[in-house]
Structure 1
Amino acid sequence: MRPRRPLHGRWSPALLSPVIWTVVITSLAFSTPRKIAFSRLLTAAPALAASVWPVLPTVLLGAACVAIMIGLSLVYPDLGTWFTVGAIAAVTVAAAYASRVRIQREQAFVELHLVAEAAQKVLLRPLPRRVGCIDIESMYVAAAAQARIGGDFYEAVSTPYGVRLIIGDVRGKGLPAVGAAAAVVNCFREAAYDEPTLEGIVRRLDVSSTRHSCTLPAGDLMEQFTTVVLAEFPHQGGRIKLLNCGHPPPLLLHHGELHVLDPTAVSPMLNLAGLIGTGYITDTIVCYPGDQLLFYTDGVIEGRNGRGEFFPLQDWMRRQTSAEPRELLDTLHRDLVQHSGGGLDDDVAALAVRLHDGLAGEAAWDTHTEIGRSAYRPADPARGDSE
């Protein structure tokens, strides 16, 4: 595998800087009084080359600097260049070694980069734009520019029970979080086909997450938990089911009105059911064709600007009444980056879902607002709502 070409371009100023340095110092050495001794600065040329060039060009530049010093000694016999020649030779040897080490590290980084991309395709595989009865788009942005995957995850599959999706966030960073996310996603891909209810799916997810956490050091066991939202969109349309385990609530745009889909009761996060019980609650809502839902992780709402203000997701969502799913996520990414000043402090994952004509139903909305946010009313058989 070839090492990455350093920096930005083949003839970028950074790549040419060793040559430019050598030419400038040589010109000054020949054109200025001998007592200034600009020639001693030539020792920096091979050291600079080691940071951007392979081994052989670095050695050749060092040899060129030695030749320049010998030429100076012929023009100025009393200059005393042999000490500088020895210094250039020593620096060249060290620079060649440093260049070799740098290239090996770049090769290792490229290999890890490729492994991370392969892992991302397994953990966060691309979703089709239409899955059963919904149009769906996904977004994942790592907080670190070099990263490809982290503890945020999502998946959507078409099953005999309808289209089922999950989005979640593992507490923590690094490889442990990636491993926990992979355990949950892989379990979901199997359970979504087998389990007739969302409660059955989340119980299997909890078992898988707990089993994975048992492989961690004892001190990390109680700190490893995962928040998730599961959703089920029936093939025949109508009622959507949501099960929220400590995750930020999805947002729904219905005829231009924003609804925050808070759960009616708290369900335990994965890996904590053994401590606080397994009382999983599924909420049911009714949607129209054209309604749009946004599922997201806490990296979206915890993005801060220079004044420490969080990203105003609900106000932002109210302004996106006509956006398609892909356009919605592209705009969200752009505005998040702009709000945070160009850098994100946490990983960000989001799913935008639009219900197309396959979904239809009689809406059951509560039109009152509380503390500036809309609420929804789940279907309730006691009120005469049918399941």
Structure 2
Amino acid sequence: MGFRRRVADLWQPWQTGHALVAIPLGLIVAITVVDVLVPGDIHLGPLLIVAPAITPWLAGPWLTGLVGVLAVAAQAIIAVLRDPGELFSTNHQVQIASLALLSFVIVVFSHQRERRRRQLERVRSVSEATQRVVLPPLPHRMGPLRIASAYRAADDEALIGGDLYAATRTENGARLLIGDVRGKGMTAISDASVIMGSFRDAAHRCATLAELAVTLEESICRHLTEHAPHPEADELYEQFVTVLMLDIPDDAPVAQMINCGHPPPLLLHQHHVTALDPRHAEPPLGMCDLPRTGLTVDPFVFEGDDTLLLYTDGIIEARSSDGSFYPLAERVAQWTDSGPEALLHHIRADLIAHVGGQLNDDAAAVAIQRSPKLASGRQLRKIAHTAGSPDHADRAASHDH
């Protein structure tokens, strides 16, 4: 079984990278031929070490060992072809022994490199599994909603960070969450997992968004208290989470929002982009020493074909080389006709171009589009009256006409 595996490992590079593996083999042939043909005072045999030296970047340790053996054999062939009587001379014996020793060292290096590569693959596999558990992708459809999500960690090697989003079905609609944990690293990931786990559990049990927000606040405060580095310190583990929660019913062109210190979502409606600023600013969750006097729910009209864009501050605070922030609302105005997936694709490509390829903070975005449904003017007037917003009333009146 071990021999078969070794043969498979040896044969695998020839199947997947035979063109590249031909490079060291070609070098061995070329150096051997040239060394035999050049005048006797020129010796190119020591250059054979180049062949096994470059093989680890093209193949595994077994093929590297094979190339090393061929290089040593080529050195012996050179000695025989140039002067058969010199094969056992001290000069050629030292060259062959040196080449064999260096090839062995290179094979050991290739083996260690391959082992490290496999370890990194296992770690990355665990990281990907962790991402699917902590931050699973949002469903593409949820009732009348089309949903797309995008996440980019500031660290190229990381898959998840302190930004978070989640969505779940309720009896009459959908509830969605987007948030941003202060800080980075494993601490931020831990805090984000607490928020998302609490949301998934409580979103089905809480009758209102306000009740849901209180439940999330209790969860994160309990978590921060338990993990505070110094329980008797004056400051309680300086962490908090900005959160935006949405409640979107299936059968009415309306949605409700609670914004706790998070950037306002953008509403894309008939080629117009509107920032849905909350009527009353709520502090982020997790500021446990700050008493809350109540949470304000903001309703707004969310009709068929409208799109909501949720995002974290890693997008709007991304800077270009001249220090300018990314103008999200201005850029999104160009893509109001795009579906959720296409919209996020445009934003992602444009954002990377704006910053020159590297983000300095985690960035997440969620696009939500309601399927086209007709709503009566009476429904819209009732919603606008409940929201108490002149803009909503104007939209309702125009809908009547």
1:369 is aligned to none
3-state DSSP class of the match of 2:326? coil
3-state DSSP class of the match of 1:164? strand
Inter-CA distance 33–312: structure 2 relative to 1 (3 Å threshold): farther
Inter-CA distance 284–51: structure 2 relative to 1 (3 Å threshold): same
Match of 1:260 among 275, 296, 319: 275
Match of 2:18 among 3, 11, 15: 11
Q: CA deviation at 1:204?
A: 2.1
Q: Does 1:58 align with 2:76?
A: no
Paired with 1:192 and 1:230, the residues of 2 have a C-alpha distance of: 10
- Is residue 292–residue 354 contact of structure 1 (8 Å, CA) maintained in 2? yes
Q: Does 1:92 align with 2:103?
A: yes
Q: CA deviation at 1:230?
A: 0.6
Inter-CA distance 116–65: structure 2 relative to 1 (3 Å threshold): same
Cα offsets for 1:6-36 (capped at 9, x unmatched) = 9x952353x4443344344334433434544
In the TM superposition, 1:42-57 aligns within 5 A as 42-57=48-63
Q: CA deviation at 1:68?
A: 1.4
Match of 2:119 among 95, 108, 111: 108
Inter-CA distance 383–52: structure 2 relative to 1 (3 Å threshold): closer
- Is residue 316–residue 326 contact of structure 2 (8 Å, CA) maintained in 1? yes
RMSD: 3.4
1:379 is aligned to 387
1:138 is aligned to 149
Inter-CA distance 87–170: structure 2 relative to 1 (3 Å threshold): farther
Q: CA deviation at 1:318?
A: 1.3
Q: CA deviation at 1:260?
A: 0.7
Inter-CA distance 382–153: structure 2 relative to 1 (3 Å threshold): closer
1:372 is aligned to none
1:370 is aligned to none
Inter-CA distance 111–278: structure 2 relative to 1 (3 Å threshold): farther
2:380 is aligned to 362
2:314 is aligned to 299
Length-normalised TM-score, structure 1 = 0.83
Cα offsets for 1:54-101 (capped at 9, x unmatched) = 222111211111111112222143792322222222222222221221
1:147 is aligned to 158
Paired with 2:389 and 2:226, the residues of 1 have a C-alpha distance of: 44
**Which stretch shifts more, 191-200 or 117-126?**
117-126
Q: CA deviation at 1:194?
A: 1.0
Paired with 1:45 and 1:332, the residues of 2 have a C-alpha distance of: 46
- Is residue 287–residue 362 contact of structure 1 (8 Å, CA) maintained in 2? no
Q: CA deviation at 1:264?
A: 2.3
Aligned partner of 1:50: which letter? P
Paired with 2:71 and 2:333, the residues of 1 have a C-alpha distance of: 65
Q: CA deviation at 1:165?
A: 0.1
Aligned partner of 1:32: which letter? V
- Is residue 292–residue 353 contact of structure 1 (8 Å, CA) maintained in 2? yes
Q: Does 1:204 align with 2:215?
A: yes
* Runs of 5+ consecutive residues of structure 2 not aligned to the other structure: 394-401
3-state DSSP class of the match of 2:109? helix
- Is residue 285–residue 364 contact of structure 1 (8 Å, CA) maintained in 2? no
Higher helix share: 2
3-state DSSP class of the match of 2:364? strand
2:170 is aligned to 159
Length-normalised TM-score, structure 2 = 0.81
Match of 1:339 among 329, 354, 368: 354
- Is residue 304–residue 370 contact of structure 2 (8 Å, CA) maintained in 1? yes
Q: CA deviation at 1:352?
A: 0.8
In the TM superposition, 1:187-198 aligns within 5 A as 187-198=198-209
Match of 1:125 among 120, 126, 136: 136
Q: CA deviation at 1:314?
A: 0.8
- Is residue 301–residue 311 contact of structure 1 (8 Å, CA) maintained in 2? yes
In the TM superposition, 1:275-286 aligns within 5 A as 275=290, 277=292, 279-286=294-301
Q: Does 1:83 align with 2:94?
A: yes
* Runs of 5+ consecutive residues of structure 1 not aligned to the other structure: 367-376
Paired with 2:71 and 2:113, the residues of 1 have a C-alpha distance of: 22
Paired with 2:209 and 2:120, the residues of 1 have a C-alpha distance of: 41
1:310 is aligned to 325
Inter-CA distance 99–321: structure 2 relative to 1 (3 Å threshold): same
Q: Based on CA coordinates, which of the two structures has the bigger radius of gyration? A: 2
Inter-CA distance 282–304: structure 2 relative to 1 (3 Å threshold): same
Q: Does 1:69 align with 2:75?
A: yes
Aligned partner of 1:308: which letter? G
Cα offsets for 1:284-313 (capped at 9, x unmatched) = 222332221100122222333333332221
Identity across the alignment (%): 34
3-state DSSP class of the match of 1:263? coil
